Amino acid sequence: MAESGNSSRAGRVAFTHPDFALYELARFFIVAALEMQSVAIGWQVYEITKRPLDLGLVGLAQFLPGIILFLVSGHAADRFDRRNLLITCYAGFSVCSGLLLSAYLRGMHAVYPIYIVVVLIGVVRSFNGPVSRALLPQLVSEEHFPNAVAWNSSVNQSATILGPAIGGLVYALSKGPSAVYTISMVSAVGAIVSTLQIKSQAKPRPREQLSLKTVLAGLHYIRKQKIILGSISLDLFAVLLGGAVALLPVYAREILRTGPWGLGLLRSAPGIGAGGMAILLAHRPLRSRVGATMLWCVAGFGVFTILFGISRSLVLSMLALLFVGATDMVSVIIRGTLVQVATPDEMRGRVNAVDMIFVGASNEVGQFESGLTAQWFGTVPAVVLGGIGTLVVTALWAWSFPELRRVNQLTFPDN
């Protein structure tokens, strides 16, 4: 019993750092807010236009600002106080929720006001991503960092589970998006309050002058680190091709024939699988063959995407999405730990900004790709072809990046 208790405490060791606990509370609030809001935006847009392509355009509108601003946002994360930048980002998310609420209450039911706000959300996200990820290693000791990464992923996925479910339920009960946008706005304020209490003891960082060389340093660093390049590019192309989340409103409405509540359940299913896997890895961390494990899990992601694509049952679809989330989470934790432990603190903002572009491309551009292929070939063929593409990419990366395949453990260089 004592050994069991010690093991349980060891699995939660990151939470012995108070700043980490506050960071995760804020993270839960903001991710839940954005996920609730995403369900409302997707359903609202599809009700207005009835076109899958417009769901893809929502993802593209969020991603394009990141492409334009990622070099600036990464440099800002390395130059300025990361906690204060994070608070500013959370305030920006709250304002965007307020704008969506205002547009709906004023009777502006056209699509273009939604797209304008989605672009603004993309601008805020371009700073939020690298800043929040670069701040995380400052909040825990090095030996507790892998545990912090696993719990950070678990908290994110818990919010991803609850956010869409609450968003879909609230949308259905209130017969519109106004209540969802209100809750999202208040949740962002909660994230601000929590982050204000963080007392991070950041190590002094050199104030590099803004120049093309310093701005591009993250790109150059990743290009030289083949293991990092292989892991984040694998995630980019696998999820870019295999992402089916953008088409969930179509599946919920036309294929599975459920309402907003069904959409909320479908959106939550990947988060349930991912959250469960993250908790499992927090208590039973990967100790060997992490590179090969990552490749096998990405292949599994493709297989379960295909299964979801051909399913006509809500239960089977949710099970497939649950395993999609679980296999993806293994890749997320391995990649996230590799990037952080292999990067000096003074460059983490820039390197994470580049990594976030890869993540954003796989998610937001993946949404656009899914919407476009669904418009051309139909919804089911688009998802199935995407899953097949993921399997092909995994095989190519296993051959092209042998260094990634041979990675055995996730440790800091000094270890």
Q: Model confidence over 20-29: pLDDT tens digits?
A: 999 999 999 9
User: In the numeric block, which tokens belong to residue 231?
Assistant: 């892991």
Higher pLDDT, 407 or 249: 249
Q: Model confidence over 170-184: pLDDT tens digits?
A: 988 888 899 999 999
Domains of the chain (ranges plus CATH)? 11-196+215-405 (1.20.1250.20)
b/e per residue, 13-37, with b = 16+ CB within 10 A?
A: bbbeeebbbbbbbbbbbbbbbbbbb
* Residues 6 or more apart in contact with residue 69 via CB below 8 angstroms: 123, 126, 127
CA distance 182 to 160: 18
289: left (phi over 0), alpha (psi -120 to 50) or beta: left
User: In the numeric block, which tokens belong to residue 349?
Assistant: 């903002």
Helix and strand element counts for the chain (H, E): 18, 0
Q: Does residue 353 have a pLDDT over 50?
A: yes
User: In the numeric block, which tokens belong to residue 328?
Assistant: 């993806």
Q: Does residue 200 have a pLDDT over 60?
A: yes
Q: Model confidence over 43-94: pLDDT tens digits?
A: 888 888 878 778 778 877 887 888 888 778 887 887 788 899 999 999 999 9
Q: Model confidence over 112-131: pLDDT tens digits?
A: 889 999 999 999 998 998 89
* Residues 6 or more apart in contact with residue 348 via CB below 8 angstroms: 77, 78, 133, 134, 137, 340
**Interaxial angle between packed helices 314-341 and 260-283, expressed in degrees from 0 to 180 and rounded to the nearest 10:** 40
Q: Does residue 338 have a pLDDT over 50?
A: yes
Q: Does residue 347 have a pLDDT over 80?
A: no
